[in-house]
Structure 1
Amino acid sequence: MTQQQRIAVIGGGMGGLTAGVLLQRAGFKATVYEQAKQLARIGAGINIYPNGMHVLRATGVVDHLLAIGQTPATWFSRVWDTGELLYSQPEAAWHKKYGEPHIILHRGDLQRSLASQLRPDSIQFDKHLVGIEEVGDVLKATFADGSSVEADVIIGADGVNSRVRELLLGPQPPKYSGFVAYRSVFPASRLSRPLDSDGCKFWSDDRHWANEDRHMIIYYTTKAKDEVYFVTGSPDPNWEGTTPVDVTIQEVKDHYAGFHDEVQRVIDASVQISKWPLLTRDPLPLWSSGRIVLLGDACHPMKPHMGQGAGMAFEDAAVLARCLQEKRDDIEGALKLYEANRQGRASKVQRISNANTFLKYEEDPTWCFGYNAMTVPLQPAGEAAKPPQAECA
């Protein structure tokens, strides 16, 4: 094995880029292979809570994120029709307690910021993975353009439709949850007046909606509060789509008829709305095999209702980098250590996120926000069945 171990990270999303940066800083030769032709400011807004911010702090991007994203002073949970306040998140108190703020920004801005921390030429685009094979004591990844790369470790950070996961466990399509997410990003100048709060989640009344839970989350994505994003969790059991499609404003208005005026005027201000299937998977029997390992949505996709999908990918990347650094001469042992320390926590977050109950009312989120993946003690594989206790700053 070479002195500087080579790691191929498949996927240039939040988890893959974070893994690449942290691994490079730990002394590995990490390269990220992304199937898109370039990074573009497309996609959606993103919430990053203190547990994710601890990891991003280690990548060197936090100062830039704080300069462009917003740290909300107000975030409300409200009743779907009356707007009655269910819970006002104590943002300042959480920042003080957990040592990092809650920040909101556009996913594309975060992606570019993370990519800027990689060494020059260590992210390659238009690389669609088609196969992995062992060649002697190394792994060989082959791409659709005919190129290939040799590595000592391959990390699958390639999302819910992970090709790496498929090569490890065989083809198995993700499950459609019966819910979709309507999403839209638009200039705040289109609103008739500013939002009532920096961020808000309107929760449906299950009794009114015949047990068909639906909600809408609305927030500013920039420090200047000049851009607004909304995302929903909306029942659509008969939809058979597997990829996002554009929809009319009227479709969303019909689905959210009767919701509060804040919801109506945000929908009316939209320029373009897309509909995304919310896909899930059952917990996987394994996250690694030999020197191939999964992280993020590749192994534990979840509905985005907790704002922790990216957070779990950040945590995975941090713990994986720490395990590989600790066990440089035992890669397979490092991957098993990673899996043992992450599986319980990620599965818990996946379960709660899919249930869509988190922070509807006042509760103590220390178990989630107080976890610091950069410093939490790594438990030996045989002792890590339970999620480690949260740490507070």
Structure 2
Amino acid sequence: MSHSKKIAVIGAGLGGAAMGILLQKAGFDVEVYEQAPAFSRLGAGIHIGPNIMKIFREMGLEHDLEEMGCHSEEWISRNGNTGEVQAQAKLTGYGAAYLTIHRGDMHARQIEALQQDKLHFDKRLSQVEQDEYGVTLTFADGTVTQADIVIGADGINSKIRETILGVEAPLYSGWVAHRAIISGEKLKQLKAKFDLDDCVKWWYEDRHIMAYSTTKERDEYYFVTGVPHPAWDFQGKSFVPCDKAELFETFKDFHPSILAMIEASDDVTKWPLNNRNPLPVWSNGRLVLLGDACHPMKPHMAQGAGMAIEDAAMLTRCLLEEGLENYEQAFSLYEQNRKERASQVQKVSNANTFLKEQEDPSWVYGFDVYAQPLHAEETA
């Protein structure tokens, strides 16, 4: 299939990279623009549920990721004080693996899969203008390019969202996430004292800590917290360093294995969890949004990046269904077939109730974006 019209994807994060790969595999002419000068292996892990692995299968990356990540067979929820199991869910039987992996390792493989001559770093978008003929994109370095449609995969502070809906700062959720990696000799010593679950969430009153292996060899262990925290000025930074003393105080009543994890951890960082109210529209004219640009959520279900990747798969389907000439119909079809699903996950994730008690998670993991019939609203 050959498509002569040009698509621009703004943002080469997990959702933007997925969008670029899927569109390029479908035969579209796609340029991907990323504001960062380069990507590095930041200390963060990520879950890839079966619902997302099926999309990586479509990208041709499923096997590569299976060779990199930890194959988690069970999600365990434990009482943060006693360690007692309060809920557990099998992660197998959904037609694809459930992986926990280092975010940087997965992202690096996605970036490699993009057409390298169509990937542009250090491109901070400064101005967007659209008319009946196309979209003009101006970047901070003075370069200008044109596209027929533009996909905003540029996160919670999306310039494309701002163009569609106006300037509005994201909302601080009142929560922070602490992130840290445990590796090397410290991890060996920790494992000698405690049995570490491959995928576990520790719950305690108004806070939690999630921990999991990020490699197939299980030689790296990651944890991320969810903690209420008064608002303060991050001075525009995505995260700040955090003293371990703060974590010890935050989790002082937790199970001894949690305190040992904190002690064994490498550098700890603290991230504000920002949010937005549901958007009234996901597109305008030749502009359309996906992922955190249109439905950011707290990471408490480990499905935030997954929803962006599902968005990318559905948007590709809709563009193939309607054709680039009918982009507005494609965008409408995309929103109609994604909004309910993304909003449901956003609501549950923000409420932080998923698998706190025993429940069936198949509505999340059993979802197959390629098996969903495309539903269009009937017009009078």
TM-score interval, smaller chain = over 0.9
TM-score by length of 2: 0.94
Q: Which residue of 2 aligns with 1:21?
A: 21
Matches within 5 A, 1:32-47: 32-47=32-47
Output the CA distance in 1 between the equivalents of 2:74 and 2:196: 9
**Alpha-carbon separation, structure 1, partners of 2:132 and 2:155:** 29
Helix, strand or coil at the partner of 2:71: coil
Is 1:173 the equivalent of 2:173?
no
Quickly say closer, same or farther: Cα 1:151–1:14, change in 2 above 3 A. same
Gaps of 5+ in 2: none
Q: Report the 3-state secondary structure (helix = DSSP H, G, I; strand = E; otherwise coil) of the residue aligned with 2:355.
A: coil
Shift of 1:188: 4.7
Shift of 1:220: 1.0
Aligned counterparts of 1:275 and 1:228: Cα–Cα separation in 2: 17
Matched, 1:134 2:146: no
Provide, for residues 328-371 of structure 1, a one-character-per-residue CA deviation record: whole Å limited to 9, x for no partner: 13111101110111111111110000000111222112222121
Give the paired residue count.
Answer: 371
Indicate yes or no: 2:243 matched with 1:248.
Answer: yes
Does the residue aligned with 1:64 lie in a helix, a strand or coil?
helix
* Residue 338 in structure 1 maps to residue 339 in structure 2: no
Say which of 251, 260, 280 aligns to 1:265.
260
Cα pair 1:336 1:381 within 8 Å, conserved: no
Look up the match of 2:147.
151
**1:210: which partner in 2?**
none
SS across alignment from 1:381: coil
Q: What corresponds to 2:220 in structure 1?
A: 227
User: How far has the Cα of 1:374 moved from its partner?
Assistant: 2.0
Amino acid at match of 2:148: D
Secondary structure of the structure 1 residue equivalent to 2:174: strand
| Matched residue SS, 1:314 | helix
SS at match of 2:190: coil
Deviations 1:284-305 (A, max 9, x none): 0100000100000000000000
Amino acid of the structure 1 residue aligned with 2:35: Q
- TM-score, length of structure 1 as denominator length: 0.91
Provide the C-alpha distance between the structure 1 equivalents of 2:44 and 2:216, rounded to a whole number of angstroms.
16
Q: Report Cα offsets for 1:304-341 as digits up to 9, x if no partner.
A: 00011011001100000010111113111101110111
Match among 207, 217, 222 for residue 210 of structure 2: 217
Matches of 2:28 and 2:6 in 1, distance apart?
A: 6
Q: Does residue 304 of the first structure (1) align with residue 299 of the second (2)? A: yes
Mapped contact 2:89–2:361 kept (Cα < 8 A): no
Match of 1:386?
none
Structure 1 residue 199: Cα displacement = 1.7
Q: Could you say if the C-alpha distance between residues 188 and 364 of structure 1 is closer, same or farther in structure 2, counting changes exceeding 3 Å?
A: farther
Q: 1:52 to 1:44 in 2, by over 3 A?
A: same
Partner of 1:193, secondary structure, is helix
AA matched with 2:158: S
- Distance in structure 2 (CA, Å) of the matches to 1:359 and 1:53: 21
- The CA RMSD over aligned residues, in Å, is 1.5
Tell me, yes or no, if structure 1 residue 67 matches structure 2 residue 39: no
Instruction: Tell me by how many angstroms 1:140 deviates.
Output: 1.0
How big is the shift at 1:196? 2.4
1:64-117 residue CA offsets vs partner (Å, 9 max, x unmatched): 1111111113432100111011123223xxx22x20111010111111111122
Identify which of 99, 103, 120 aligns with 2:95. 99
Q: Which amino acid aligns with 2:226?
A: G
Whole-angstrom CA distance in 2 between matches of 1:48 and 1:337: 26
Does residue 83 of structure 1 match 2:80? no
Per the TM alignment, residue 215 of structure 1 is displaced from its structure 2 partner at its CA by 0.1
Alpha carbons 1:181, 1:233 under 8 Å: kept:
yes
Q: State the 1:382 CA deviation.
A: 4.1
Match of 2:311 among 298, 316, 329: 316
Instruction: Report the CA distance shift for 1:3/1:104 in structure 2 as closer, same or farther (over 3 A).
Output: closer
